[in-house]
Chain A
Amino acid sequence: QQQVKQSPQSLIVQKGGISIINCAYENTAFDYFPWYQQFPGKGPALLIAIRPDVSEKKEGRFTISFNKSAKQFSLHIMDSQPGDSATYFCAASRIQGAQKLVFGQGTRLTINP
């Protein structure tokens, strides 16, 4: 059972454009939603995260939009740069218990110069 669904699988954006990646979840017990960035041969690294008590969080060029009623959240990368080319994973963890992360399938982002 896929608890966190991510789309698209791959995305190509021109330099300076906006990259948008979407995720949807099923379990209403999730209350922490991080986005991780992974470069080839490296482990995932936290990019930005949000709690469901806010609808948007912005850090630099990265913004998370969160829709609790729709159980959806998305990552927006403004002014996308070639250095942003990587695989992005959304994830979720529960309110209680072990804070194990449930990851989406990943989006391979390519920014063309």
Chain B
Amino acid sequence: GAGVSQTPSNKVTEKGKYVELRCDPISGHTALYWYRQSLGQGPEFLIYFQGTGAADDSGLPNDRFFAVRPEGSVSTLKIQRTERGDSAVYLCASSLAGVRGETQYFGPGTRLLVL
């Protein structure tokens, strides 16, 4: 079956612009995670959805970052007033139910470059 997909694969924007990054999780997966991976670093947690609700958004760096998952499937990560420091690979992962020890399946990521 299809894995986690993310669009666009690459996004170049100018400082101050607004961007939206999309994640399509594996069908039937209720848990969805966003991570951010800076060059040469491990992924860092941003936000976790269980169904439609954001169950844990403790990793969002500031109020310029926001994410939604209105129907419990596709999720969109939104970044307002982008800054050069936002440049990174944004990874989405999904798991079946979000329970302890469950495998998280990652998408290929969206590479965001803010000029």
Contact A43 B55 (CB under 8 A): no
Which of A14-22, A62-70, A78-86, A100-108 is the contact stretch?
A100-108
A66 and B96 CA atoms in complex are apart in Å by 26
Q: Contact string, A80-113, partner B, CB cutoff 8 A, digits 1/0?
A: 0000000001010101011111111110000000
In the complex, the answer to whether A103 meets B43 with C-beta atoms within 8 Å is: yes
Stretch at the interface among B12-20, B70-78, B79-87, B100-108: B100-108
Q: In the complex, A45→B105 CA distance in Å?
A: 7
Number of interface residues of B (CB under 8 A): 30
**Which chain A residues border B100 with CB–CB below 8 Å?**
31-32, 93, 95, 99
Residues of chain A at interface, number, CB under 8 A? 28
Q: How many A-B residue pairs have CB under 8 A?
A: 69
* Cβ–Cβ contact A32 & B101, under 8 A: yes
Which one, A41, A45, A100, A102, contacts B33 given CB within 8 A? A100
Mask of B30-57 contacts with A, CB within 8 angstroms, 1/0:
0101010000111111001010000110
Bound together, the chains give a CA A110 to CA B62 distance in angstroms of 37
Rounded to whole Å, the gap between the CB of A43 and the closest CB of chain B is 3
A89 and B45 CA atoms in complex are apart in Å by 14
Residues of B within 8 A of A103 (CB): 42-44
A51 an interface residue at 8 Å Cβ cutoff? yes
Chain B residues with CB below 8 A from A61, complex form: none
| A residues neighboring B (CB under 8 Å) | 4, 6, 31-32, 34, 36, 41-46, 49, 51, 89, 91, 93, 95, 97-106
Binding site for A on B (CB under 8 A): 4, 31, 33, 35, 40-45, 48, 50, 55-56, 59, 91, 93, 95, 98-109
Given contacts A43-B4, A103-B43, 9 further A-B contacts (CB under 8 A): A4-B42, A43-B93, A43-B107, A44-B43, A46-B104, A49-B103, A51-B101, A91-B42, A100-B59
